[in-house]
Structure 1
Amino acid sequence: MRANHHQFVAFAYVVREGSFSAAATRLGVTQSAVTQHVAKLEKQVGSPLLFRNREGVSLTRTGEEFYDLADRLVTLDTAITERLEGFEAMERGHIKIIANAPLPALRAISQFRQAYPDVEIDFALYAWSTATRLLRERRADVGLITDPPRSEDWERVSILKARYVAYLLPSSPLAGRDLLHFRDLTDETIILPETGSLTERVVREAQVKHGIRFPRTITMTTFPLMCEAVFQGAGIALFLANSGLISRGLVEVPVAELSASHETAVIAPKDRARLRLVKAFIEIASSLDFR
């Protein structure tokens, strides 16, 4: 017996949604049906495709190979449905968006929501390394990523460039400076995003290059949390300039050792980039003025 279309679709959605129950909800079927489809596919393959645990599911090595095929099948199935339904398919649907920086993503999502108010949007922020991995593994439809790696499998549209700055309280003695150097920050507590973030990597590389170490650092999961920590007097945050409205009330000062501009781009697997909703999101994001 050959594996059928429904088995591959169920498997792909379990991986994309992270659990059997979430996949069932997205597909509008029972969890039992999804479980049976995946079990039958695994039987046909002759090897487990998923590890089941309390946190959800993860792919086995065999599962990684089959997921790529299954997800491409789902994408093709969606493209066919769009052709059959025409622009009515744009009035509903679902799009999964990820990003490693909040401001460009949230502005694009806001504009997209105004154009397509009935589309379900699933959005999450991740560290740079996680966001790029999820896109490489086809776990999201589209991503807004700073300095994304080059890939022939991705559609890539640049939307803005920014440099890193120090975020300080207006009362800080350093707030009136036009430019800061690493040596000015060695007596300060420096707030950085979590390990695996682009910012953490860029700052660490610059420290090694210039031979300067920050003795006191705090790592945090998100930019809004970093800004709140600055407001509370916990330290000085290093992050890309103009990264969110949450930073209003803080002073942004450029840092000499972090003078390079970093590109943020909209990224999508090439086959998904041709889907109407994903294409519409890319067009909206690339049309925004982030100055």
Structure 2
Amino acid sequence: MSVTLSKIRALNAVAEAGSYAAAARLLNISQPAVSRQVRDLETEYAVRLFDRKNGLLQPTPLCVELCDIAERMAEAERNAERLLSRHNTLVNGKLTVGLGNSMPGMALIAAFHKRYPSVEIAVETGSFENIISAVITREVDVGVLPDVPRDGRFRRELLMQQSVVAIIHPEHPLSGTSAVTCQRLLKEPLIFRTKGSSTQRVVDRAFQAAGLTPTPLLTLDTRDAVYEAVANGMGIGFMWRNGTGRTDVVERVAVTDMQKAIEEVAFTLAAENSLLVEAFFTTVQGFRKDTLN
């Protein structure tokens, strides 16, 4: 036996109503169930919780203290219910989204916000591996990434298809080139992403398929850092073609060995079925149709 939430509820109801019968009606349970829970507490801890006066049960000083605790517990329950409800309502709900790239994910979030302006949106950014892990551990409700594994863990919805491109400073000799090979890029100072990046996975596969082993000048942990390094003329980097909305300074150049289009998808755990996630996936479908049109 122990102090359970149901016993504390019963205790508080009796103190409020003045009898077991009235408390039972408040709790919508039987009178014997209420009296048994109160008496169990009195017996287990050898205390008296109520005195009978004028036909009513009056709480003892000890019981009054316990009722104060019961009120705080009831408030905690209400707070927990409000918190849980926020994750499954389109009115004042909250959705957490994990992004590997700021685009097209941020454009998708903007479209979702336009549809559901009262939903609070929190955004977590990180590498491919970090966002995959965040979805699996439910740190985020839904992720947006390219090249997400097709397996039973995830429910996926196609957002768009895109490929990895080289990004080049406009004063570089390769500026204005329509396409370049991995063999040609091997002659240039290269700027790579750290392992765990979806971009770097594509780059590594392309060089490996071409039988090449490049040594990068720099290895950086974010797309923005790669972009800035290229913008400052330090070398050639790589990014998803639609990985950013920025159009300043650098040029995007196709890489013939990286022309295969990769699916960028919104994804969540296969068992996820909240109303907010369903609304987000519906927005993905609309976003894809608008992009194709």
What TM-score does the superposition give when structure 1 sets the normalisation length? 0.66
Q: Which residue of 1 aligns with 2:110?
A: 110
> Sequence identity, in percent?
24
Measured in 2, the distance between the counterparts of 1:202 and 1:139 equals: 26
Q: Which residue of 2 aligns with 1:95?
A: 95
- Correspondence list, 1:191-230, <5 A: 191-230=191-230
Amino acid at match of 1:280: A
Measured in 1, the distance between the counterparts of 2:139 and 2:109 equals: 18
Measured in 2, the distance between the counterparts of 1:220 and 1:131 equals: 18
Query: What's the CA shift string for 1:225-247, capped at 9, x where partnerless?
Result: 22122111121111111221224
In structure 2, relative to structure 1, the CA distance for the partners of 1:280 and 1:228 (3 Å cut) is same
Q: Which residue of 2 aligns with 1:269?
A: 269
| Contact residue 98 and residue 126 of structure 1 kept, 8 A | yes
Which ranges in structure 1 are unaligned for 5 or more consecutive residues? 6-73, 83-88
Q: Which residue of 2 aligns with 1:23?
A: none
Measured in 1, the distance between the counterparts of 2:173 and 2:266 equals: 38
Q: Which residue of 1 aligns with 2:67?
A: none
Q: Give the C-alpha shift of residue 135 in structure 1.
A: 1.5
Match of 1:172, SS? coil
Measured in 2, the distance between the counterparts of 1:3 and 1:216 equals: 63
Match of 1:260, SS? coil
Q: Give the C-alpha shift of residue 80 in structure 1.
A: 11
Query: What's the CA shift string for 1:207-262, capped at 9, x where partnerless?
Result: 22212222333222322222122111121111111221224332111111112111
In structure 2, relative to structure 1, the CA distance for the partners of 1:78 and 1:186 (3 Å cut) is same
Q: Give the C-alpha shift of residue 193 in structure 1.
A: 2.2
Q: Which residue of 1 aligns with 2:279?
A: 280
Q: Which residue of 2 aligns with 1:188?
A: 188
Measured in 2, the distance between the counterparts of 1:136 and 1:124 equals: 14
Measured in 2, the distance between the counterparts of 1:116 and 1:159 equals: 19
Across the aligned residues of Structure 1 and Structure 2, the Cα RMSD in angstroms comes to 2.7
- Correspondence list, 1:117-196, <5 A: 117-196=117-196
Match of 1:213, SS? coil
Which ranges in structure 2 are unaligned for 5 or more consecutive residues? 6-79
Amino acid at match of 1:112: F
Query: What's the CA shift string for 1:72-119, capped at 9, x where partnerless?
Result: xx99x957995xxxxxx3121211100212102100111222233332
Measured in 2, the distance between the counterparts of 1:142 and 1:210 equals: 35
Measured in 1, the distance between the counterparts of 2:146 and 2:168 equals: 23
Q: Give the C-alpha shift of residue 290 in structure 1.
A: 4.2
Q: Which residue of 1 aligns with 2:235?
A: 235
In structure 2, relative to structure 1, the CA distance for the partners of 1:81 and 1:258 (3 Å cut) is closer
Q: Give the C-alpha shift of residue 4 in structure 1.
A: 8.6
Measured in 2, the distance between the counterparts of 1:264 and 1:287 equals: 15
Q: Which residue of 2 aligns with 1:17?
A: none
Query: What's the CA shift string for 1:41-82, capped at 9, x where partnerless?
Result: xxxxxxxxxxxxxxxxxxxxxxxxxxxxxxxxx99x957995
Measured in 2, the distance between the counterparts of 1:3 and 1:270 equals: 38
Measured in 2, the distance between the counterparts of 1:189 and 1:164 equals: 18
Measured in 2, the distance between the counterparts of 1:3 and 1:163 equals: 60
Amino acid at match of 2:217: T
Amino acid at match of 1:201: R
